[in-house]
């Protein structure tokens, strides 16, 4: 019994310390240049928004994808009256830090100033789950959580199989059952977000106004228009056109590629991205 | 419990399969597009059709044009456009066709196809409206039917110079080649190809234009195969100029193609451009025919030795300019310094000049853009470098002169050029604020925006972990599989343990060595009795290992038994000797202490050897 407990402690340490270290290693990025950030913030505070914007964009182009930089860039866009890019960058900041109150507040403010003033509606159970999760967890946290629950689940299975019948094993049995539900919930939440991000990623209209066409081509223009800051789902690209679903989930159509940018990085769409 | 295990395994499998089934990323870049310079023309006009192929992938075929109902091709050129922005190169090959309408009405240029690795890509159809013209001269097309080329005479110059009149059958799709340019070997044959360079004795790094001219009899049909020359010892600029035209030479009408390639020698001494070949198709009247150019020899000169210290290999003719967007700045206000190098030469491979800003500046990484194009057979363009500078202290400063050296191929000397120093006044923060308050033209902020309260900036790093990048890493996906390996490992270990529990003989056999080592360790504490103990330990070990008693066996029987188990004869001999010595020692306990210790060590070694064999 004592031997089994020691064995399971060693296996648990190996699994969870290894998991933490592996994720820490996989997530390492370039260090943020705080001095440059401070310079850009000073430029912003003295009203030199264009110059500040250039520095924030340069920091981002150097691989410093940080929620604070996206947020500050969003503020710079907002101050210059570019609601489309402001919403886009607040959304990008929110993807990295969804629980930040400042980001939520400024995103709500920018949306309130946008002509269409709507966020993406849920159009099915998968998107509902993805939207619900994204309000609380970043995709990284989701990935970390689902993998951790998976590790916990398998650890409990290992422990269950290691111990002889008794009180401890009964406790482990109930713990395993509970973890099954947790693993399913975390797995489906993570899977749904990946699925939505890859198949119909969110985008934001960055052109002042764009007319929706029923097919790729100016000659198929309809009477419907979308304004800067409208949040849409992008479905596919064809040539210089992108197929999108409008904010209410029902309106679908085509717009020129250069009028929209994606919130997350999706390589199969030839849309400007971060 | 077995049922519960099945459910758990099914759940694990479902989660794993869900993750595996996530969509993969497939890139669908635009490979080909087509455009015309106008969609409404008269029968007197011509229009230019441009087929643009993304040339980043060299596997893309030439465009296949559909049947052009109501349009005829009167000229065709090819060019390559290259842009380099911040080190990222993008290139397009543009096939330009000059088309002339032959009938009135709504015409359609059908989809134009290219193939890439077996995949066909089409352009969208283009609609053209053709109205009746008044029979006057055609309007100027965006692209001339016969682009001007150095060394090649235009139709009008030929007419003026030699007084020739265009043969009727050539119309405006052919002219008479300058007799001095007609190679003597042409002699009216069906196909011919010639090549030359504009400068056979260039300096290393100096631009050389290689021209290849192919002649095909205008009356010949079929597909001609062209094999380009090899340019060993040269950096080949990917932008080429290709022109097709009809001309009369050596008493015959030819369809001619000229390809100009820009080369930069990278070696010193003799270099040879290997021949290009042109092959005509076989038909019922003639067999396949191949002609090739003569090898083109060059004698490449080294650059003189007295190069300036900051010379970075630029060869050609350049100028340099620097400017800043404002000469009145303030502390922490960004200033953009723009340095432009323009001219003729190897701009593509040019290293940027270096300059140092004083400690009063915070300098960000510079970003460069190169744009080059072939103009009159010369590669010309600009390299623009932008650097963002932020002054950290107030005062009057000067952005230093930026120096740039190159080897001038005209004067055959190194030239040092430099920008003028730029004076700039930097005001302090307080001065700036006073200035801002007193001057009306502050940066534009919408009045409506100032009324709303947006949350302030963040000055510390926030959350930076991107799940999108995490789940695209193979190591992350492998982590999902790690617990499965542990489960499989535990299952295997438990099965093995169960097998041993159900088989006492196997368990004894597995633990025999461990037990023997423990006994040998204990024997060390009583060295005087080691002699007798070693034999017993060895006998017990072999008995347990083989799962049978060996007590009472003769040495021969024991030897045969071990041989049958595949044990090496030498080891068997050592075992027998050890047993004999132990037996002898048991009855003659006068052997020294050291000998006893050696026997224990030998027995330990023998057990280790037997463990490998059994």
Any idea what the CATH number is for the domain that residue B120 is in?
2.60.120.570
Q: Is residue A23 part of a domain?
A: no
Domain assignment present for residue A95? The answer is yes
B22–A239 C-beta distance less than 8 A: no
Nearest CA in chain B to A240: B30
Residue A47 lies in a domain: yes
Q: What is the pLDDT of residue A156?
A: 92
pLDDT confidence of residue A256 = 92
Establish if A71 touches chain B: CB-CB under 8 angstroms.
Answer: yes
Q: Are A85 and A229 in contact (CB under 8 A)?
A: no
On whether both A40 and A106 belong to a single domain, the answer is yes
For residue A97, give the nearest of B444, B452, B463 by CB distance: B463
Query: Do B327 and B291 fall into the same domain?
Result: no
Rounded mean pLDDT of A45-52?
A: 88
Quick one: B256 and B328 in the same domain?
no
Kindly list the distances between the CA atom of residue B258 and the CA atoms of A156, B148, B379, in Å, as whole numbers in the listed order: 75, 12, 17
Domain that holds residue B373: 315-438
Same domain for B392 and B327?
Answer: yes
- Domain match, B40 and B122 both: yes
Q: Is residue A63 part of a domain?
A: yes
Q: Please indicate, yes or no, if residue A65 is contained in any of the structural domains.
A: yes
Provide the pLDDT for residue B160: 36
Residue A38 sits in the same domain as residue A109: yes
Residues B175, B266, single domain; the answer is: yes
**DSSP single-letter state for residue B172:** G
Percent of chain A with pLDDT over 70: 89
Quickly state the pLDDT bin for B13 (edges 50, 70, 90). low
CA-based nearest distance B15→chain A, Å: 6
Tokens of B277: 């070949």
Determine the Cα–Cα distance for residues B556 and B21; give it in Å rounded to an integer.
Answer: 66
Decide if B486 is inside a domain: no
Residues B118 and B226 in one domain: no
Strand spans (E) along B8-164? 32-36, 40-42, 47-54, 71-85, 88-101, 105-109, 113-116, 119-122, 126-131
Q: The domain that contains A214 carries what CATH number?
A: 2.30.30.40
Query: What is the least distance, in Å, from the CA of B17 to any CA of chain A?
Result: 11
Question: At B101, is the secondary structure helix, strand, or coil?
Answer: strand
Mean pLDDT of B274-291: 79
Residues 6+ apart with CB under 8 A from A199: A235, B23
Domain that residue A160 falls in? 125-199
Same domain, B257 and B357: no
Q: Are residues A136 and A106 in the same domain?
A: no
Chain B residues with beta carbon closer than 8 angstroms to that of A34: 459-461
Contact criterion met (CB < 8 Å) for B462 and A270: no
Give me the pLDDT at residue B16, please: 54
- Tell me the CA distances in angstroms from B532 to B382, B526, B579, one per residue in order: 97, 11, 9
B181 found inside a domain: yes
B237 neighbors B265 (Cβ within 8 angstroms)? no
Q: Which of A63, A79, A113 is the last residue of a domain?
A: A113
For B132-144, the DSSP string reads ---S-PPPPPSS-
- Over range A35-59, report the average pLDDT: 88
Verify whether the Cβ–Cβ distance B455 to A138 is below 8 Å. Answer: no
Asked if residue B15 belongs to a domain, the reply is no
Indicate whether this complex's ipTM tops 0.90: no
Number of inter-chain CB pairs under 8 A, A vs B:
212
Q: Are residues B294 and B331 in the same domain?
A: no
Res B488: pLDDT: 92
Query: What is residue B166's predicted lDDT score, i.e. its pLDDT?
Result: 35
Q: Is B79 in contact with B51 (CB distance < 8 Å)?
A: no
Out of A97, A184, A217, the one facing B462 most closely (by C-beta) is A97
If one counts the domains in chain A, the total is 3
> What is the total count of domains within chain B?
4
Residue in chain A lying closest to B484 (CA): A154
Write the CATH number for B574: 1.20.120
Task: Specify the higher pLDDT residue, A142 or B507.
Answer: A142
Domain membership of residue A174 (yes or no) is yes
Tell me: do A255 and A190 sit in the same domain: no
Q: Which residue of B has its CA nearest to A195?
A: B22
Say which CATH number the domain at B230 has: 2.60.40.740
Q: What pLDDT does residue B465 have? A: 54
Same domain, A207 and A176: no
> Where does a domain end: A84, A113, A142?
A113
The answer on B194 and B124 residing in a single domain is no
Residue B214 lies in a domain: yes
Q: Do B458 and A102 touch (CB under 8 A)?
A: yes
Tell me, yes or no, whether B459 lies in a domain.
no
A178 and A211 co-located in one domain: no
Smallest Cβ–Cβ distance between B334 and the set A54, A65, A161 belongs to: A54
Q: Are B15 and A151 in contact (CB < 8 Å)?
A: no
Q: Looking at chain B, which residue has its C-alpha nearest residue A148?
A: B480
Q: CA-nearest residue of chain B to A179?
A: B8
Report pLDDT digits (tens) over A104-125: 899 988 988 876 655 555 567 7
Judge if A209 and A194 occupy the same domain: no
Interval B523-548: pLDDT, tens = 877 766 777 788 888 888 888 888 77
Nearest to A261 by CA among A91, A65, A51: A91
Domain at B366, CATH number: 2.60.40
Greatest mean pLDDT among B80-94, B137-151, B599-613 lies in: B599-613
* CB-CB under 8 Å, B436 with A237: no
* CB < 8 Å to A75, chain B: 454-455, 457
pLDDT per residue as tens digits for the range A205-252? 999 888 888 888 888 877 778 888 888 888 888 888 999 887 566 678
What CA–CA distance (Å, rounded) separates A113 from A230?
A: 11
Q: What's the predicted TM-score (pTM) here?
A: 0.45
- A47 and A97 belong to one structural domain: yes
Q: Is A51 on the interface with B (CB under 8 A)?
A: yes
Residues B329 and B283 in one domain: no
Give the gap in angstroms from C-alpha A38 to the nearest C-alpha of chain B: 6
**Could you tell me if residue B390 is inside a domain?**
yes
Does residue B467 sit within a domain? Answer: no
High-pLDDT (> 70) share of chain B, %? 74
Given B131, B163, B192, the domain boundary residue is B131
| Residue A4 falls inside a structural domain | no
pLDDT at residue B170, as a whole number:
39
Give contacts of A237 with chain B, Cβ < 8 Å: 28
CA distances from B309 to A42, B205, B209 (A): 40, 18, 29
Which residue of A lies nearest to B363 if distances are taken between CA atoms?
Answer: A36
Per-residue pLDDT at B439 = 31
Q: Is residue B138 part of a domain?
A: no
Q: Same domain, yes or no, for A104 and A55?
A: yes
**Domain-ending residue, one of A78, A113, A148:** A113
Does A161 lie at the interface with B, CB-CB under 8 angstroms? Answer: yes
In a domain, A16, yes or no: no
User: Which pLDDT tens digit goes with each residue over B464-516?
Assistant: 555 456 666 778 888 888 888 988 998 898 888 888 777 777 777 878 888 88
Residues 6+ apart with CB under 8 A from A178: none
């Amino acid at each position: 019994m004592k031997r089994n407990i020691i064995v399971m402690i060693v296996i648990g340490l190996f699994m969870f310390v290894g998991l933490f270290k592996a994720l820490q290693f996989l997530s390492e990025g370039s260090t943020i240049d705080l001095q440059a950030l401070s310079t850009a913030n000073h430029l912003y505070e003295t009203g030199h928004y264009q110059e500040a914007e250039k520095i924030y964009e340069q920091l981002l182009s150097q691989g410093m994808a940080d929620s604070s930089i996206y947020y500050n860039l969003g503020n710079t866009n907002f101050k210059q009256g570019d609601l489309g890019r402001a919403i886009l960058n607040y959304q990008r900041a929110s993807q990295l830090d969804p629980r930040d109150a400042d980001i939520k507040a400024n995103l709500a403010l920018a949306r309130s100033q946008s002509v269409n003033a709507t966020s993406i509606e849920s159009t099915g159970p998968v998107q509902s789950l993805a939207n619900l999760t994204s309000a609380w967890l970043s995709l990284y946290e989701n990935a970390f959580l689902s993998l951790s629950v998976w590790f916990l689940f398998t650890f409990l299975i290992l422990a269950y199989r290691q111990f002889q019948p008794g009180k401890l094993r009964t406790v482990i049995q109930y713990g395993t059952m509970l973890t099954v539900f947790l693993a399913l919930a975390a797995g489906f939440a993570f899977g749904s977000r990946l699925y939505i991000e890859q198949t119909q990623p969110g985008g934001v209209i960055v052109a002042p106004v764009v007319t929706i066409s029923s097919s790729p081509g100016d000659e198929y223009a309809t009477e419907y228009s979308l304004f800067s800051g409208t949040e849409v789902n992008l479905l596919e690209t064809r040539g210089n056109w992108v197929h999108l679903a409008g904010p209410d989930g029902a309106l679908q159509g085509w717009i020129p590629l250069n009028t929209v940018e994606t919130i997350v990085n999706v390589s199969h769409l030839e849309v400007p991205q971060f | 419990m077995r049922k519960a295990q099945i459910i758990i395994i099914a759940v694990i499998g479902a989660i794993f399969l869900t993750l595996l089934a996530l969509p993969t990323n497939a890139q669908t870049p635009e490979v080909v597009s087509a455009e015309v310079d106008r969609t409404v023309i008269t029968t007197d006009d011509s229009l230019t059709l441009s087929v643009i192929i993304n040339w980043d992938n060299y596997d893309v075929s030439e465009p296949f044009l559909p049947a052009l109902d109501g349009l005829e091709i009167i000229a065709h050129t090819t060019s390559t456009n290259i842009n380099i922005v911040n080190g990222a190169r993008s290139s397009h090959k543009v096939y330009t066709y000059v088309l002339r309408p032959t009938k009135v009405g709504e015409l359609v240029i059908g989809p134009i196809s290219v193939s890439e690795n077996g995949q066909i890509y089409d352009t969208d159809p283009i609609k053209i409206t053709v109205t009746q013209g008044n029979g006057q001269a055609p309007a100027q097309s965006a692209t001339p039917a016969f682009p001007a080329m150095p060394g090649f005479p235009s139709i009008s110059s030929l007419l003026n110079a030699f007084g020739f009149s265009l043969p009727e059958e050539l119309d405006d799709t052919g002219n008479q080649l300058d007799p001095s340019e007609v190679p003597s070997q042409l002699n009216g044959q069906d196909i011919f190809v010639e090549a030359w360079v504009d400068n056979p004795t260039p300096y290393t790094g100096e631009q050389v234009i290689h021209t290849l001219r192919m002649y095909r009899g205008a009356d010949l049909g079929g597909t001609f195969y062209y094999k380009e020359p090899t340019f060993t010892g040269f950096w080949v600029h990917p932008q080429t100029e290709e022109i097709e035209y009809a001309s009369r030479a050596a008493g015959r009408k030819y369809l001619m193609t000229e390809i100009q390639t820009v080369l930069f020698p990278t070696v010193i001494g003799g270099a040879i451009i290997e021949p290009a070949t042109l092959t005509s198709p076989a038909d019922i009247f003639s067999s396949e025919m191949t002609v090739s150019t003569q090898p083109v020899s060059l004698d490449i000169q080294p650059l003189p030795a007295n190069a300036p210290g900051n010379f970075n290999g630029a060869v050609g003719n350049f100028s340099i300019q620097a400017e800043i967007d404002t000469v009145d700045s303030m502390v922490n206000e960004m200033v953009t310094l723009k340095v432009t190098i323009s001219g003729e030469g190897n701009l593509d491979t040019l290293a940027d000049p270096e300059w140092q800003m004083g400690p009063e500046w915070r300098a960000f990484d510079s970003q460069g853009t190169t744009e080059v194009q072939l103009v009159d057979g010369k590669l010309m363009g600009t390299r623009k470098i932008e650097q963002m500078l932020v002054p950290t202290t107030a005062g009057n400063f000067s952005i230093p002169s930026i120096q740039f050296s190159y080897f001038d191929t005209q004067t055959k000397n190194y030239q040092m050029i430099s920008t003028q120093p730029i004076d700039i006044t930097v005001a302090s923060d307080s001065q700036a604020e006073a200035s801002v308050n007193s001057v009306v033209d502050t940066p534009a902020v919408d009045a409506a925006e100032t009324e709303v309260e947006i949350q302030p900036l963040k000055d510390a790093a926030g959350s930076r972990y991107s799940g999108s990048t995490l789940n695209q890493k193979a190591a992350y996906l492998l982590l999902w599989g790690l617990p499965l390996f542990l489960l499989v490992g535990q299952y295997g270990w438990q099965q093995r343990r169960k097998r041993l529990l159900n088989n006492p003989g196997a368990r004894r056999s597995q633990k025999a060595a461990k037990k023997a080592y423990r006994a040998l360790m204990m024997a060390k504490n009583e060295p005087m009795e080691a002699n007798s103990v070693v034999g017993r330990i060895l006998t017990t070990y072999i008995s347990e290992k083989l799962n049978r008693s060996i007590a009472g066996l003769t040495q021969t029987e024991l030897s045969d038994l071990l041989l049958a188990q595949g044990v090496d004869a030498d080891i068997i001999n050592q075992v027998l000797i050890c047993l004999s010595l132990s037996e002898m020692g048991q009855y003659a306990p006068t052997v020294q202490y050291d000998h006893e210790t050696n026997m224990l060590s030998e027995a330990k070694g023998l057990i280790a050897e037997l463990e490998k064999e059994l």
